[in-house]
Amino acid sequence: MIKRRKTKTVKVTCTRVGAGASGAVEIGWRAPIVIQSMTKVPTTEVAHCVRQINQLVKAGCRLVRIAVPRRADTAAFAKIVQKVNVPLIADVHFSPSRAIEAIEAGAAKIRLNPSNIRNRRDVHRIIDAAKMHKTAIRIGVNEASIRDLKKQPVAMGKRTALMLREMKKYVRLFENRDFSRLVLSAKSSDTLRTIEINRSIARTFEYPIHLGLTHAGLPEDAQTPSAIALGTLLAEGIGDTIRVSAAGNPLLETKIAKQILIALGLYERSEPEVIVCPTCARAEIDVVKLARRVKKAVAGIDRPLRIAVMGCIVNGPGEAADADLAVCAATNKAYIYRNGRRISIVPEDKIIPALLKELQKL
Ligand code: SF4
């Protein structure tokens, strides 16, 4: 059981007219860890954006972030807010005006980068608007944006200190203006540096932490660094909301994020899990092909069942003993087990129907 680090709780509320309590998400140690992702279509394509948001919500995202680089984007953001039932975050860089427009457009939360909105008076204006609209703010320090880190190679300890200094300075601006609806994040593209800086942030502040790596790569390359960085921190109890950054379809980001949380027992699965033996020379069947067929057949079932697909009966039954259902292949047939007990033998072409029949019973 992972012991979460104690934090303040930040409530992020969907501002759609009539969204009510169903649209509110809490971020903090008492609440489940929140998966978030970003839309990756032009914000001004409102219908397209809404479609992608709804797909992300269906996949498990409870917060969705949208970039608003231009005035036209905050105008589109105001329309999008009214069409979805999930709190939206406006991602703001460089422009205090965009931040205020997004808050007034109904952003539940905005993300600011301290390195590119630095003017104290601008920050105060944003804080005042956020207070008025009860908008949460994420202070997102990015290693790549810190000026002192661009000048020369800097050792890891010094990098962490510089990022922490940047965060402390910015947080003080908010606290001095009596604003505490804050979430903090410190991102790097480097796995170890991400772990290091987030440990420091966790030791220094009580605010919830958003975890992620920046520009982690294509989905197949982003998976491992994200799993290591986010997994290590989450296992230490650090992190209250996460985003896996991967180039391409944001649904893949959500899928990886969910897998990380499931692996740590931090996410309640609602669909079947298919576990598959790694296969070896003992396999009596094309295990991968069968596993894919099983996965396809059980897609859409909304029960957290564990189904094992094993290539032989030498080790298969023992290794699949804790599965709700297991298929262990033999030559031209398969043995079906329920909770470790053999219940039937079926010919190879009847494996899927037999499995589905047993699933019905469960
Ligand atoms: S279950 Fe059988 S086929 Fe699969 S890895 Fe184990 S021994 Fe090999």
Q: Which atom of ligand 1 is nearest to the CA of 316?
A: 1
pLDDT for 284:
84
The residues pairing with 306 across neighbouring beta strands, listed in sequence order, are 273
Dmax (CA) for the chain in angstroms is: 75
Q: What is the pLDDT of residue 150?
A: 65
pLDDT at 205: 98
pLDDT in tens, 330-357: 888 999 999 888 999 999 999 999 988 9
CA angle (54 as vertex; 359, 222 as ends), nearest 5: 80
* Whole-Å CA distances, 165 to 1, 176, 197: 33, 16, 11
- Cα of 302 to ligand 1 centre, how many Å? 29
Residue ranges, comma separated, of all CATH 3.20.20.20 domains in the chain are 10-263
Tell me how far apart the alpha carbons of residues 25 and 21 are, in angstroms, rounded to a whole number: 9
Torsion from C-alpha of 35, 254, 87, 234, nearest 10 degrees: 10
Q: How far is CA 136 from CA 38, 58, 108, in A?
A: 17, 24, 6
Low-confidence stretches of the chain (pLDDT beneath 70): 17-22, 147-153
Separation between Cα atoms, residue 39 and residue 157, nearest integer Å: 34
Q: From the CB of 317, is ligand 1 less than 6 Å away?
A: no
pLDDT of residue 271: 85
pLDDT at 22: 62
CA–CA dist 176, 206 (Å, integer):
16
CATH class of the domain whose range is 10-263: alpha beta
In b/e form, how buried is each residue of 166-190, taking b as 16+ CB within 10 angstroms? Answer: bbeebbebbeeeebebbbbbbbbbb
Q: What angle do CA 67, 68, 70 make, to 5 degrees?
A: 140
Question: In this predicted structure, what is the pLDDT of residue 300?
Answer: 83
**What phi and psi values does residue 182 have, to the nearest 5 degrees?**
-115, 145
327 lines ligand 1 (CB under 6 A): no
- Judge if pTM exceeds 0.85: yes
Residue nearest to atom 8 of ligand 1 (CA): 280
Residue nearest to atom 7 of ligand 1 (CA): 315
Which residue is associated with the tokens 């069409």?
83
Q: Is the CB of 139 under 6 A from ligand 1?
A: no
- The Å distance, Cα 283 to ligand 1 centre, comes to 6
**pLDDT number for residue 21:** 59
Burial of 336 by CB count in 10 Å (0-12 exposed, 13-18 middle, 19+ buried)? buried
Residue 283 CB less than 6 A away from ligand 1: yes
Round to whole Å and give the CA distance between 248 and 131.
Answer: 35
Q: Which residues contact 192 (CB under 8 A, 6 or more apart)?
A: 156
Q: For ligand 1, is residue 313 a contact (CB within 6 Å)? A: no
- pLDDT for the residue 209: 98
Which tens digit of pLDDT belongs to each residue from 293-331? 999 988 888 888 999 999 988 877 787 788 999 999 988
Is 280 close to ligand 1, i.e. is its CB under 6 Å away?
yes
Q: Whose CA is nearest to atom 2 of ligand 1?
A: 312
Superfamily holding 273-361:
Sulfite Reductase Hemoprotein, domain 1 (3.30.413.10)
278 CB within 6 A, ligand 1: yes
- Specify the 3-state DSSP secondary structure of 337: strand
**Closest-lying ligand 1 atom to the alpha carbon of residue 278:** 5
From-to residues of CATH 3.30.413.10 in the chain? 273-361
Is any atom of ligand 1 closer than 6 Å to the C-beta of 239? no
